[in-house]
Amino acid sequence: MQRNRTLCALLVGCMAIGVAACAAGSKRAWTTVDLATELANPTRPQMDRDRDSDRKPAELMTFLGVEKGMTALDVIAAGGYMTDVLATAVGPTGKVYSQNPPAFLRFQNGAYDKALATRLANNRLPQVVRVDVDLPASAAIPAGTVDVAVTAMNLHDIYNRDAAAGQKFLNDVYTTLKPGGVFGVIDHVGSVGGDNQKLHRMPKSVAIDGAKASGFVVEAESNALAHPNDDHTKSVFDSTLRGKTDQFVLKLRKPQ
């Protein structure tokens, strides 16, 4: 009898270890190769897949540690390229808030509004929630509930127009994140003392100083979007640079 009890205890212990291992495995972060394969799925718009070679979404998502089941926020999502990427990365069990300020959606006769509506038509991305309001948007995005937020090529415009507004923007994103949450900031590299407003750029140091002032810790930087041939003196809309500017990528962490 004692021997049978011992065997049962061992079996239960092994089963528990197995369940724990499976649970840990289900939370394992993507590899860049695996996520790149998922993003190549023809259910994503061809236009997006054509942009992937320049924007390197698989590298960025793995750098930021995006996992299936997470809650993500695309801050100033525009037409939703990054929203679509995040939806793939968090999978059907995750959630993605696709946020745009109302004024932004009115640009160019509502081009971004129409593009995002087309992208989400027919419930194509059921895990995506449109949030067409300015941050903070506590009614739509409860404070302290987001695992990872991303903003791509937006911070420079806010900071260049109004540094105080840029700081508020960072503060508002900080508020949405869970303790330990990550904010990925991608932007065009500018030069200290350069006409960054005209060129649509910002010095990386300005972004870092603002992030630290909001309480973020700069955990890591990535050179995935570095382009050494860009000397930071031309507009990001210059025909020789469009889509291939030198860009910094920051991984900011909200402390636990």
- Provide the CATH number for the domain formed by 31-253 in this structure: 3.40.50.150
CA 39 from chain centre, in angstroms, equals 15
Distance, CA of 200 to CA of 205 (rounded, Å): 16
Three-state DSSP class for residue 118: helix
pLDDT at 29: 79
DSSP state of 236: T
- The encoded tokens of residue 90 equal 């968090």
Give the pLDDT confidence score for residue 250 in this predicted structure: 98
Residues 6 or more apart whose Cβ sits within 8 Å of residue 232: 189, 190, 191, 194, 199, 201, 246
Q: Tell me whether strands 71-75 and 128-131 are parallel, antiparallel or unpaired.
A: unpaired
Q: Are 100 and 132 in contact (CB under 8 A)?
A: yes
* The predicted structure's pLDDT at residue 11: 36
Q: What is the pairing mode between strands 71-75 and 177-188?
A: unpaired
Those residues of the chain that have pLDDT short of 50 are 1-26
* Average model confidence (pLDDT) across the chain: 91
Mode of pairing for the β-strands spanning 247-253 and 217-222: antiparallel
Q: How far is CA 166 from each of CA 20, 49, 62, 210, 214, rounded to the nearest angstrom?
A: 43, 31, 27, 8, 11
Contact 69, 91 (CB under 8 A): yes
- The whole-number pLDDT of residue 3 equals 41
What is the rounded CA–CA span in Å between residue 126 and residue 122? 9
- pTM score, whole prediction: 0.88
Distance between start and end Cα atoms, the chain: 49
- Tens-place pLDDT, residues 12-40: 343 343 433 334 334 567 999 999 999 99
Strand-pairing partners, residue 177, are 146
Contacts of 119 (CB under 8 A, 6+ apart): 45, 79, 80, 83, 84, 125
Kindly state the tokens that stand for 211. 């992030």
- H/E element holding 58? helix 57-64
User: Would you say 173 and 154 are in contact if contact means Cβ atoms under 8 Å apart?
Assistant: no
Q: What is the pLDDT of residues 95-137, one digit of tens each?
A: 999 999 999 999 889 999 999 999 999 999 999 999 999 999 9
- Strand, coil or helix: what is 74? strand
